[in-house]
Amino acid sequence: MSAIEVKNISKNYYSAKSGKFAGIGRNPLLGEDQTKSISTKETGISFEVEKGEIFGIIGPDGAGKTTLFRILTTLILADSGSAAVDGFDVVNDYKEIRKRVGYMPGRFSLYQDLTVEENLNFFATVFNTTIEENYDLVKDIYQQIEPFKKRRAGKLSGGMKQKLALSCALIHKPSVLFLDEPTTGVDPVSRKEFWGMLKKLKDQGITILVSTPYMDEATLCDRIALIQNGQFLKIDTPENIVRQYKNKLWAVQSDTMYKLLTDLRANNLTKNCFAFGDKHHLSMDNDQLTTDELKALIEKSGHKNVIVQEIEPTIEDCFMQLSQG
């Protein structure tokens, strides 16, 4: 039995203000200026998460990540399809699911007027347990904020709020943890630390469904789903997704990087060219080109100190290729 099973789930919202549909398993036919929902059966999304797996939902704001989390945590009902968590149906067995899952919403949702300790105590009590009973599970995380346990949650920094929220989501020893964008707006060092904590939780057998807009975090998941506009572009291990990249990919550099970008974009042979830190990632229509030929081609337009290397794509390269269809 999988920890999470999702079959043809869809949930479409119509926002009168934006005149658009949002949600998950979105029907691409539901565009602008259509006020009526039409059958979405064929466009629902499906996936399974194994026990003890870290499964990442990776995509930009507005892709439908939060809608999916709310359906699985039994907070909203899907329009169609079915889903089960720990073998329990999200509609019929919602009470059972709520006992077993931990949920850290994207927006900070603890009680701002309660102290750190009071918040944790409150969540433990709601789930009929005590801090002491499951202290082992939250110890690593909670110890970092314990010096501030008398401080009100509203007065905590962003990083500390994140740690308190994770502690509260864990205090009843859930079997499945739902983390909706836990690292958004968090600096790269704290993000690394946070993923270290997730690895430890995984080692204790907890299944984790986590969403993030940061593509570099994808490689820290066992499997990922790339999501855009309410649809999955791909579900697989990060390694397999990288392997399935369709073209040869080069990293190119010269002394004048912005000119290099515009020059390459203007070139007829260029398929795609995007800035990637101090390099540009380039794919050409012709994969037979050699590195030397490409270098000569770039030097012809007056570039100095040209470096061309064939490279392995990143998840971000893959996302861009897949999202362009």
- Report the interface residues with another protein, using CB under 8 A: 17-20, 32, 59-62, 144-145, 148, 156-161, 184-192, 213-215, 228, 258, 261, 274-278, 316, 319-320, 323-324
Distance of closest approach, residue 219 Cβ to another protein, in angstroms: 13
Distance of closest approach, residue 240 Cβ to another protein, in angstroms: 19
Q: Between 158-170 and 188-203, two packed helices, what is the crossing angle to 10 degrees? A: 10
Query: Is 209 buried (19+), middle (13-18) or exposed (0-12) by CB count in 10 A?
Result: buried
Instruction: Give the residue with the Cβ less far from another protein, 214 or 245.
Output: 214
Distance of closest approach, residue 60 Cβ to another protein, in angstroms: 4
Say which residues have a Cβ less than 8 Å from residue 192's Cβ, sequence separation at least 6: none
Contact predicate 302/244, CB 8 Å? no
State the Cα–Cα distance between residues 103 and 100, nearest whole angstrom. Answer: 10
Say which residues have a Cβ less than 8 Å from residue 203's Cβ, sequence separation at least 6: none
Distance of closest approach, residue 18 Cβ to another protein, in angstroms: 5
Say which residues have a Cβ less than 8 Å from residue 290's Cβ, sequence separation at least 6: none
Distance of closest approach, residue 283 Cβ to another protein, in angstroms: 14
Say which residues have a Cβ less than 8 Å from residue 106's Cβ, sequence separation at least 6: 66, 180, 181, 184
Q: Between 257-266 and 291-300, two packed helices, what is the crossing angle to 10 degrees? A: 100
DSSP character string of 236-248: E-HHHHHHT--S-
> Dihedrals φ, ψ of 186, to 5°?
-100, 140
Instruction: Give the residue with the Cβ less far from another protein, 79 or 317.
Output: 317
Distance of closest approach, residue 217 Cβ to another protein, in angstroms: 12
Distance of closest approach, residue 16 Cβ to another protein, in angstroms: 10
Instruction: Give the residue with the Cβ less far from another protein, 49 or 226.
Output: 226
Instruction: Give the residue with the Cβ less far from another protein, 15 or 240.
Output: 15
Instruction: Give the residue with the Cβ less far from another protein, 38 or 275.
Output: 275
- Tokens encoding 257: 């990087």
Instruction: Give the residue with the Cβ less far from another protein, 85 or 156.
Output: 156
Instruction: Give the residue with the Cβ less far from another protein, 53 or 181.
Output: 181
